[in-house]
Amino acid sequence: MSARGWQKHLGLAVGLPMAGIDTDQLIPARFMATPRDQGYGGFLLHDLRYDGAGAAVPNFVLNRPESAGASILVAGRNFGCGSSREAAVYALIDYGIRVVVAPSFGDIFAANAVNNGLCPAQVCEKTSASMLDALAEAPRRVTVDLEACEIVGPACRVPFRLDPVWRQKLIEGWDDIDLTRAYAADITAFRDRDARARPWAAVRPPGGHG
């Protein structure tokens, strides 16, 4: 299913001042056998949110009462590095997050995010640090504008970077499968050409010939 497109998002931003939040932390592996329709929001950052006995860690940012309803997460560099598990994006989306702001993202995570309507907004280290400083006092409501590539709040206006193709995809809510099927003739033509150019690339079942 494709994500619905969006252009502007007004929401509550919270800060998670940690670098290298990998996808194993975003969703620990043990939750990944769950079918998606059961909802992944409860798994988000599970082992940071809850202690070994399952009790909420009182000081963790998402557990503070003033963070309720947060939809924008501001974090340190290399957010979403590691495992390609798209479940990390499902956990963010199902929790209600629409935008993650960080100085850099794991490549596969960022692609997965865009495929699910989650915006990976890249800002410079300085901007990230000052946003995290501001959010350390309290979460704030800001608007993320995909058209302008800006995050706008009462006392801030910061630009972010987003691959133009991804930006378009988020705005339109494109579905790649539908898009690709429009190129079916090109794919068939390639396939025929390629079969002659690289005959050895065809799968040869064991015991077969040629």
Partner 1 sequence: MSAGPQTLLDKLWHAHEVLRRKDGTSLLWVDRHLLHEGSHHAFAKLAARGLPVAAPEQSFAVVDHYAPTRNRDEGGVTPEIRSMIARLKENAARHKIRLFDLMDPDQGIVHVIGPEQGLTLPGLTINCGDSHTSTHGAFGALAFGIGATEVAHVLSTQTIWQARPKTLRLRFDGALGPGVGAKDMALAWIAQFGADAARGHAIEYTGAAVRGLTMEGRMTLCNLSIEGGAKLGLIAPDETTFAYLKDRPYAPQGTSWDRACADWAALPSDAEAAFDREESLDCAQIAPVVTWGTRPDQAIPVTGTLPRGEGSEVNSTLTYMGLEAGRPIAGVPVDQVFIGSCTNGRIEDLRAAAAVLAGRAARVPGQVSPGSARVKAQAEEEGLDRIFTAAGLDWTGAGCAMCVGMNGDLVAPGARCASTTNRNFKGRQGPGARTHLMSPAMVAAAAVTGEITDVRPLLAGRAVA
Interface residue list for partner 1 (CB under 8 A): 1, 18-20, 22, 24-25, 28-30, 32-33, 35-36, 47, 52, 77-78, 81-87, 89-90, 104, 106-108, 111-112, 115-116, 163-165, 168, 176-177, 180-181, 183, 186-187, 190-191, 194, 197-201, 203-206, 209-210
CB 32, min distance to partner 1, A: 7
- If one counts every other C-beta atom within 10 angstroms of the C-beta of residue 207, the result is 5
Sequence letter at residue 104 = S
Alpha carbon distance 180, 128 (integer Å): 36
Nearer CB in complex with partner 1: 58/206: 206
CB 18, min distance to partner 1, A: 8
Alpha carbon distance 27, 87 (integer Å): 7
Nearer CB in complex with partner 1: 62/142: 62
Nearer CB in complex with partner 1: 77/156: 77
Q: What is the DSSP letter of 105?
A: B
Alpha carbon distance 15, 133 (integer Å): 8
Nearer CB in complex with partner 1: 145/175: 175
Are the C-beta atoms of residues 23 and 80 closer than 8 Å to each other?
Answer: yes
From the list 21, 19, 39, 27, the residue with the least C-alpha distance to 86 is 27
CB 65, min distance to partner 1, A: 24
